[in-house]
Amino acid sequence: MKHHIVILGGGFGGVKCAQTLCRGLPRDNAELVLFNSENHLVFSPLLAEVVGSSLNPLDVVMPLRQLLPGVFCRTEEVQNIDLAASQIQYEGEDGQLCRMHYDHLVIACGNVTNLNLVPGMADHAFPLKSVGDAAALRSHVMEQMEKAEICAGPQRRRWYLTFIVVGGGYSGVEAAGEINDLVRGSARYFQSFRAEDVSVILIHSRDRLLPEISPGLREFARRKMEKAGVNVMLNARVALVTPEGVGLEDGRFVKGGTIICTIGSSSAPVLERLAAPKERGRLLTEPDMRLRGWANVWAIGDCALNVNSSDGQPSPTTGQFAERQGKQCAGNIVRVLSGHPSKSFYFRQLGELCSMGGQSAVAELLGLRLSGFVAWFVWRGVYLFKLPTWARRFQVGFDWAWLLLFPRDLAHLRTRQTDRVSHAHYQPGDLIISQGEPPANFYVIEQGEVEVVRSTAKDPQGEVVAVLGPGSFFGERALLSNEPRVASVRARTAVEVLVMGKNVFTQISQALAPLRDALAQALNRRAIDVWQEQPRVHELLKRTLLRGLMEAVPQPLLKPAAALRDVGHAFVEHGHEFFYVSSDSQTLEGVVTITDLIRGRSTGSTPTTPVSEFMTRNPVALAADDNCAIASTAIREYRLKSLPVVEHKDNRRLVGCIRVRRLMAYVFRELGTE
């Protein structure tokens, strides 16, 4: 029988683990599957070089299927890990949640940047974690130089040319060095500013930069950076970020047009949802890297807190450690599968390297400390050697050699994307949302109606639990709770919807208080278990069709051209609370209530203004063969006292109306007042 081994994450840890397993396990003995949301490994130590235009974005990524020929590489996002069932859940290409069993699982999903630690950081700062981040930042830096060139005021120009990097670890130091090199080195191609106008500020909360390396080298790194023109602010903690710059905890404000955030990380979302022992977001493991309490689950790299038995210290979150853990974890899995005991994680670091721009670096290799140009040369050599394929080594080596002879490329491509708020059309019967799928969008109905269908194991066909019409919305519950959809939504008529992507929805719903309130009320109203407390009422309403309880359409039907004055008279004369509007005295086109009439009068209408201008157009309507439970939910949703009833969901010929008091009287008559 083949062992099914799943690796979650295609970073340094996951890739090394997969490569080692490929070599250590015969193919007919094991099936290896690696999940990584992107189809490539990101060589993050070189991301700063992309920002500084020393390398192209594609130089720092390696396609996984070319790196791992014997492994089934999949790009689905893993949503959940079910430790008890030895299964993972992932989002399939059709958006459905799928499950996969594993005999052994290696969790190597790294961590994610958390921009929410400081107010304003998420809105105004650039992260530096992915190739996309690096390319976007590079583009922005170029744009800032272009704006500085055409800007009239010297103060504003200085603001455009000020780059603030928050965090003095590896990525912050490297990013500050690269941006400094790029902008100062490019000043000679611009007419309106000189290298002296450029300001790069590195803000670090501790008293020394680069806590990862030895104290002597840290001091050297700081001096070298300052000599190159980087303003290093130590013991300075950023408290807030605005579009103008950053506010420090001690009350100072540092102005600058670009803020780069290299601090703050949190667990990958899949681990946030995993109930397993963690410390500061990292999974706690046994000495051999097994997840505490689970014999067939291993955790490596940035997401795990593996103690190094060489010095008894928790492993730092670096590529070097992730790679080594990947290798030793694979060795342990091979040992366990062949009945041998596993070994504790043990690693003696070979050295540390950090580039600071300006052809300068600091390095500590095999106990030898290097700095300046020699260290920089070693840095490049080591990283060239560490690149996993010969193709990339040649490519990167060539780009670096090119830069020794020619200046950096200042061209940039605008990566503006189309707006992620879009419109969509669905035909009757089309599925807009499927129950169980992960949440992606929020929808606002512009025209037409949808029905909400909930299925259960007993009733896989599903029951229509609600009907929604124009002005209403759906999809909010799963997005807000980040859980799979609890019901399907299907177009009941031809429907036009406004579709908002997850990020846009999150941003708007957080910023716009009325929307937030409307969502909170909707969540309350749409609580799934509203019927659970009254199952008998639910059963009764479900088996009663509207045609048995509806009342006659209030007469007369108004024409869309009826004047406001005449509508007023109709209310006085007939004593109704509303009238329906129809051109052909049959088809429902609108409804006008006393509230609509008052609103019509107060918004500048004249006595002759037609009702079509202040009525509610195409109101939600129920079909005569809908059941009363749907009517009750719709009445609750729209907070109305009555709803129109039409012949059929495809045909809006008015046949009656259903009133809340009639429904209540019916329930009391049938079930008593219990």
Cβ closest to ligand FAD, residue 78 vs residue 592: 78
Which residue in the set 19, 20, 44, 258 belongs to the binding site for ligand FAD (CB under 6 A)? 44
For β-strands 488-491 and 495-501, DSSP reports them as: unpaired
Cβ closest to ligand FAD, residue 5 vs residue 303: 303
Provide, rounded to whole angstroms, the least separation between the CB of residue 206 and ligand FAD: 18
Provide, rounded to whole angstroms, the least separation between the CB of residue 20 and ligand FAD: 13
CA dist 66 and 344 (Å) reads 31
CA dist 134 and 126 (Å) reads 9
Cβ closest to ligand FAD, residue 317 vs residue 328: 317
The neighbouring-strand residues paired with 203 are 166, 233
Query: How many residues of this chain interact with ligand FAD, rule: CB under 6 A?
Result: 32
171 binds ligand FAD (CB under 6 A): yes
CA dist 553 and 261 (Å) reads 63
CA dist 362 and 378 (Å) reads 9
Provide, rounded to whole angstroms, the least separation between the CB of residue 130 and ligand FAD: 8
3-state secondary structure of 525: helix
Contact status, residue 149 vs residue 193, Cβ threshold 8 Å: yes
Q: Segment contacting ligand FAD (CB under 6 A): 301-309, 497-505, 567-575, 634-642?
A: 301-309
Positive or negative: CA dihedral 615, 616, 617, 619: negative
Local structure of residue 195 (DSSP, 8 states) = G
Contact status, residue 166 vs residue 207, Cβ threshold 8 Å: no
Q: Segment contacting ligand FAD (CB under 6 A): 5-13, 236-244, 434-442, 583-591?
A: 5-13
Give Dmax (Cα) for the chain: 99
Cβ closest to ligand FAD, residue 300 vs residue 564: 300
Q: Segment contacting ligand FAD (CB under 6 A): 9-17, 200-208, 340-348, 540-548?
A: 9-17
Determine the residue type at 530.
V
Residues of this chain, 201-240, that bind ligand FAD according to CB under 6 A: none
Which residue in the set 3, 4, 31, 38 belongs to the binding site for ligand FAD (CB under 6 A)? 38
Cβ closest to ligand FAD, residue 363 vs residue 467: 363
CA-to-CA separations, 163 to 231, 245, 534, 602, in angstroms, rounded: 10, 9, 62, 53
Provide, rounded to whole angstroms, the least separation between the CB of residue 288 and ligand FAD: 17
270 binds ligand FAD (CB under 6 A): yes
x/- string (CB under 6 A) for ligand FAD, residues 560-579? --------------------
Show the tokens assigned to 422: 């879009």
Which residue in the set 5, 6, 13, 264 belongs to the binding site for ligand FAD (CB under 6 A)? 13
108 binds ligand FAD (CB under 6 A): yes
260 binds ligand FAD (CB under 6 A): no
3-state secondary structure of 16: helix
505 binds ligand FAD (CB under 6 A): no
CA dist 487 and 111 (Å) reads 31
Determine the residue type at 242.
T
9 binds ligand FAD (CB under 6 A): yes
Provide, rounded to whole angstroms, the least separation between the CB of residue 557 and ligand FAD: 56
168 binds ligand FAD (CB under 6 A): no
H-helix or E-strand spanning residue 478: helix 476-481
322 binds ligand FAD (CB under 6 A): yes
Cα end-to-end distance, the chain, whole Å: 61
Helix, strand counts (H, E) of the chain: 21, 42
Which residue in the set 186, 318, 472, 627 belongs to the binding site for ligand FAD (CB under 6 A)? 318
Show the tokens assigned to 125: 């700062």
Determine the residue type at 464.
V
Determine the residue type at 661.
R
Residues in the chain: 674
- At 256, phi and psi to the nearest 5? 180, 145
Cβ closest to ligand FAD, residue 6 vs residue 546: 6
Provide, rounded to whole angstroms, the least separation between the CB of residue 317 and ligand FAD: 5
CA dist 161 and 141 (Å) reads 9
Cβ closest to ligand FAD, residue 45 vs residue 264: 45
Determine the residue type at 503.
N
Provide, rounded to whole angstroms, the least separation between the CB of residue 364 and ligand FAD: 13
Of 105, 97, 104, 129, give the one whose Cα is nearest residue 115: 129
Residues of this chain, 123-142, that bind ligand FAD according to CB under 6 A: 128-129
Provide, rounded to whole angstroms, the least separation between the CB of residue 265 and ligand FAD: 9
Which residue in the set 18, 35, 193, 553 belongs to the binding site for ligand FAD (CB under 6 A)? 35
Cβ closest to ligand FAD, residue 218 vs residue 492: 218
- At 586, phi and psi to the nearest 5? -140, -50
Determine the residue type at 670.
E
- At 613, phi and psi to the nearest 5? -85, -20
The neighbouring-strand residues paired with 61 are 42
Q: Segment contacting ligand FAD (CB under 6 A): 104-112, 240-248, 288-296, 575-583?
A: 104-112
* Residue 137: alpha-carbon gap to chain centroid: 19
Q: Segment contacting ligand FAD (CB under 6 A): 35-43, 138-146, 156-164, 581-589?
A: 35-43
Which residue in the set 36, 306, 435, 633 belongs to the binding site for ligand FAD (CB under 6 A)? 36
531 binds ligand FAD (CB under 6 A): no
CA dist 210 and 233 (Å) reads 13
Neighbour-count burial of 289, counting CB atoms closer than 10 A to its CB (0-12 exposed, 13-18 middle, 19+ buried): buried
Provide, rounded to whole angstroms, the least separation between the CB of residue 193 and ligand FAD: 28
CA dist 275 and 148 (Å) reads 50
Contact status, residue 413 vs residue 139, Cβ threshold 8 Å: yes
- At 90, phi and psi to the nearest 5? -135, 160
Provide, rounded to whole angstroms, the least separation between the CB of residue 65 and ligand FAD: 14
Residues of this chain, 47-86, that bind ligand FAD according to CB under 6 A: 47, 77-78
Cβ closest to ligand FAD, residue 108 vs residue 591: 108
Residues of this chain, 360-399, that bind ligand FAD according to CB under 6 A: none
Cβ closest to ligand FAD, residue 9 vs residue 554: 9
268 binds ligand FAD (CB under 6 A): yes
Contact status, residue 445 vs residue 593, Cβ threshold 8 Å: no
Cβ closest to ligand FAD, residue 54 vs residue 317: 317
Cβ closest to ligand FAD, residue 284 vs residue 424: 284
Which residue in the set 7, 14, 161, 465 belongs to the binding site for ligand FAD (CB under 6 A)? 14
Which residue in the set 7, 10, 203, 245 belongs to the binding site for ligand FAD (CB under 6 A)? 10
Instruction: Give the interface with ligand FAD as residue ranges (CB under 6 A).
Output: 9-14, 35-38, 44-45, 47, 77-78, 108-110, 128-129, 170-171, 268, 270, 301-303, 317-320, 322
